[in-house]
Structure formats: structure tokens, C-alpha cells
Amino acid sequence: MKGIQVDPERLRVTAQAGCTWKDLDAETQQFGLAVTGGLVSSTGIAGFTTGGGIGWLMRKYGLASDNMVGADVVTADGQFVHASADEHPDLFWGLRGGGGNFGVVTSFEYQVHEVWPTVLSGLVFYPAEEAEQVLRGYRAACAAAPDELTTLVDMTTAPPLPFLPESVHGKPIIGVGGCWSGDLDAGEAATAPFRSLGTVIADVFAANPYTGWQQALDPLYPRRVHNYFRSAFLRTADDASLRVLMDSLATLPNALTEIHLQHLGGAVGRVPADATAFALRDQEFIVNIIARTPTAEGFAGAVEWARGVASALGPATYVNFTGEANPALVRASYPPDTYRRLVELKNEDDPTNLFRLNQNIPPSV
Ligand SMILES: Cc1cc2nc3c(=O)[nH]c(=O)nc-3n(C[C@H](O)[C@H](O)[C@H](O)COP(=O)(O)OP(=O)(O)OC[C@H]3O[C@@H](n4cnc5c(N)ncnc54)[C@H](O)[C@@H]3O)c2cc1C
């Protein structure tokens, strides 16, 4: 189910649920259009969108789910319905952040935006020894960043890439990545504060085709490795949180494991908290802790490490960055009022919990 139809006049795209972001970006970019997609292009649009959908365009255009204007859905009682602001509005609310709890979406309709022909995007790498200076500087730079700029800090191990000196390969390193989706000339000035946070080891920011940037990280995320994601929203990146991140960089369990500190706000933060099931709108950052091992060897230790980092940062999580089915973590992904409303919707739409192989919101009936 990979059908895609772009309507460039209405600025809409309809995509069937089997599409990945690579599929969708390829079609929308034929018209110079895009909607917020994932950082790795093999990610499916369906789980990504129903869980929220954090990506490089979010500060300018919102989450993927904020751009969803309608969805075709097979419900638990076997009906085929269209959910939108006008039809089944409660279901439409739940599909934007409530995950796969309320039905099987067969196609999504999104609003799309002009993102063309290139985005100023890339990464700049700093030494791990400068972590404190870089993280503090990053926090300050984010406070002044325009909406066109979405950035993250990647605390990782330097891969053997040609633009990194051999002397750093295999050592802890900090990357600051970003995507500027506005006027290219203004992008140099907007990204400059993020590209001068410490001693620059390499700066590979450049004007990239949007699809090129959307696929730039793909080689780092091959299939068949063992993965475990955890996350924590940060209302603000206070000093204690930055200290946890610095300590965690120093204890990364292996070279595949990394931590992303992603800047939210902008258009994401302007959506009212009760407008969609993705309700943690007042959080300035999200931390994604990505524990990975090439085989089962060492995986249990990496998972324990990720759990430790997450719990040191705080309870609020994001369902799409939660690598285990754990009712307490699902509950922590939503403010209490939102969770209550999700349970009411579940009672109404799926009282037998047919859709339970997910980040589950069990019915209370
Ligand atoms: C390498 C990698 C990079 C990622 N990067 C990002 C990122 O940048 N931003 C971000 O927000 N998330 C990211 N994620 C998390 C991603 O959003 C979730 O893993 C999401 O569930 C993937 O969607 P999928 O359709 O591929 O999932 P699947 O594994 O196919 O499904 C996962 C869940 O999604 C729901 N679901 C799937 N299809 C449907 C459907 N048709 N109807 C209703 N519910 C459905 C179900 O609950 C299902 O259990 C990343 C994940 C990976 C592995």
C-alpha cells in the first residue's frame, strides 16, 4: 500500500500507510513540496505520524501529525471511516499522537509546504572534552533560533567517515546537526551560532537537496542491528540535565549507541495542548537515547544503560521513542487529562482492546 497522490494546487498529499518517508519525500519533492518526516528515511509514515512525528521541518511546520488533515481508518468493529476535523473529530484527535490504539490507518492526507530546491543542512563536530561548553552554548543558541532552523546535538562515537580526522575515529564526539528550511542566504547567519560552539573538528553544513538530507543518516541505521530507544522530554535543559548528558557521553556502552538532544518549540510549541493527543507542547527539548548493538552480544547491558540515562532525566517520554511495551511509560507519555481522554476514546472505539500490540492504552470498561 504505497500509493501517493500529490495535489500541488491545494498543497495536499494523500499517501497510503505502507509508505516510508523515502517514498513520500520522493513524490512531494517532484513538486518542490514536503511535510515533516523522520530523520531516517526507512521509517514508516504510519507509526511515525500516529505517534506524533518529530523531524527536521518541525519547528517551521509542526509535527507530521500536526500536518495530517485527514485519515482513512479501519476501526475495531470493521468499519471504514474518514477521520478529520469535521468527521469523527475525536478519532482524528486520538490519531495525532495516540499511536495505533484506535484503528488501522490505510491512508493519510497531509498539508505540504514549499521546501525547495535545497536546505542548508549538515553537522558540525566538536571534541567530547568540550561537552560542557558545547551543551551550554547549544542551549543558548536554541533560545534565539528562528523557526526555520531545527537542530539537535548528537552525542556519539566518531564513525570512520572521510571528513573526520583518523585521530578521532572510534572516540566520543559531539555533533550538532541542523536543517535550515528558509531562504538560503539567511541560513548562514542563522546556523552560525551552532557552528561555533567550540573547537570545530569538521563542519559539513552545505546546501543539500531536501531528499539528500532526509537520507543522509540512513547508512548509520542499517537493518538487522539490535535497537532499544528511550526518551525524556525536558521542559528546559537545566544544568542537572546537561550534567546527565555529559556523564552519559562518557559512558556510552559501544560505538553504535548515541544520544540525541533535539530542540522542539517553534510551530510544535504553538499548537494548543488539547488540540491533539500529542500534548507535551511546552517542552523545549526531547532526549532520544538510542541503544544499539550489532548482535545480541552486549545488548542487555546497552538497554540497562539507556534505562538508567532515561530515568536520570525524568519521567515524560515519547511513544515513538519507547522501545518496550510498558504501561507506565505509555502513561508517562501523556499529561493526565490527555491520558484520561485517550482512555475514554479507547472505551468508545476499541472496548475489547483489539489494537493492543502497540504502546497500549487499555480501555477501562
Ligand atoms: C531508525 C529509526 C529512526 C527514527 N527516527 C524518528 C524520528 O526522526 N522522529 C520520530 O518521531 N520517530 C522516529 N523513529 C520512531 C518511529 O516514529 C517509530 O518507530 C514508528 O512507530 C515507526 O513507524 P512504522 O510505521 O515504521 O512502524 P511499525 O513498526 O510498522 O509500527 C509501529 C507501531 O505504529 C503503529 N502503526 C503502524 N502502522 C499503523 C497503521 N497503518 N495504522 C495505525 N497504526 C499504525 C502501531 O501501533 C504499530 O505497533 C525512528 C525509528 C527508527 C527505527
Question: pLDDT tens across 86-111, in order?
Answer: 999 999 999 999 999 999 999 999 99
CA of 82 to the centre of ligand 1 (A): 21
Which ligand 1 atom is nearest residue 63's CA? Answer: 11
Q: Where are the beta strands (DSSP E) in the chain?
A: 4-7, 12-16, 33-34, 68-74, 80-84, 104-111, 113-114, 118-127, 149-157, 172-180, 202-203, 206-209, 226-234, 258-263, 285-293
Whose CA is closest to atom 26 on ligand 1?
44
Q: Report pLDDT for 155.
A: 98
Report the nearest atom of ligand 1 relative to the CA of 53.
11
Closest CA to 16 of 46, 38, 41: 46
Q: Which atom of ligand 1 is nearest to the CA of 54?
A: 11
Query: At 160, is the pLDDT very low, low, confident or very high (cuts 50, 70, 90)?
Result: very high
Residue 39 Cα, ligand 1 centroid: separation in angstroms?
A: 12
Q: What is the pLDDT of residues 24-69, one digit of tens each?
A: 999 999 999 999 999 999 999 999 999 999 999 999 999 999 999 9
Confidence of residue 117 (pLDDT cuts 50, 70, 90): confident
Give the ligand 1 atom nearest the CA of 106. 41
- What's the 317 CA to ligand 1 centre distance in angstroms? 15
C-alpha 231 to ligand 1 mean position (Å): 15
Residue 181, pLDDT above cutoff 80: yes
How far does residue 52's CA lie from ligand 1's centre (Å)? 10
Q: What is the pTM of this model?
A: 0.97
Residue 361 CA to residue 340 CA, distance in Å, equals: 10
Q: Is 98 helix (H, G, I), strand (E, B) or coil?
A: coil
What is the mean predicted confidence (pLDDT) over 261-280? 98
pLDDT at 167 over 90: yes
Q: Which residues line ligand 1 (CB under 6 A)?
A: 17, 38-40, 43-44, 46-48, 50-55, 99-100, 104-105, 221, 320, 357-358
Closest residue by Cα to atom 46, ligand 1, is 100
Asked whether the predicted pLDDT for residue 365 surpasses 80, the reply is: no
Residue to mutate (ligand 1; options 283, 320, 353; most atoms within 8 A of CB)? 320
pLDDT tens column, 184-237 = 999 999 999 999 999 999 999 999 999 999 999 999 999 999 999 999 999 999
8-17 b/e with 16+ CB inside 10 Å = b? eeebbbbbbb
Q: Which residue minimizes the CA distance to atom 44 of ligand 1?
A: 100
Average pLDDT value for residue range 10-18 = 98
Residue 95 CA, ligand 1 centroid: distance in Å: 13
Cα(211)–Cα(217) distance, rounded to whole angstroms?
Answer: 11
Name the residue with the closest Cα to ligand 1, atom 36. 47
Minimum-distance ligand 1 atom for the alpha carbon of 64 = 11
Tell me the per-residue pLDDT of 327-351, one tens digit each, with 9 for 90 and over: 999 999 999 999 999 999 999 999 9
> At 53, phi and psi to the nearest 5?
100, 85
Contacts of 227 (CB under 8 A, 6+ apart): 290, 291, 292, 323
Kindly report the protein residue whose alpha carbon is nearest to atom 34 of ligand 1: 47
284 and 231 Cβ atoms separated by less than 8 Å: no
pLDDT tops 90 at residue 12: yes
pLDDT tens digits for range 292-324? 999 999 999 999 999 999 999 999 999 999 999
Cis peptide before 117 (omega within 30 of 0): yes
**Which cell is 50 given?**
500516529
What confidence score (pLDDT) does residue 354 get? 98
Is the pLDDT confidence value at 3 over 80?
yes
Indicate which residue's Cα is closest to atom 31 of ligand 1. 47
Query: For residue 343, what pLDDT is reported?
Result: 98
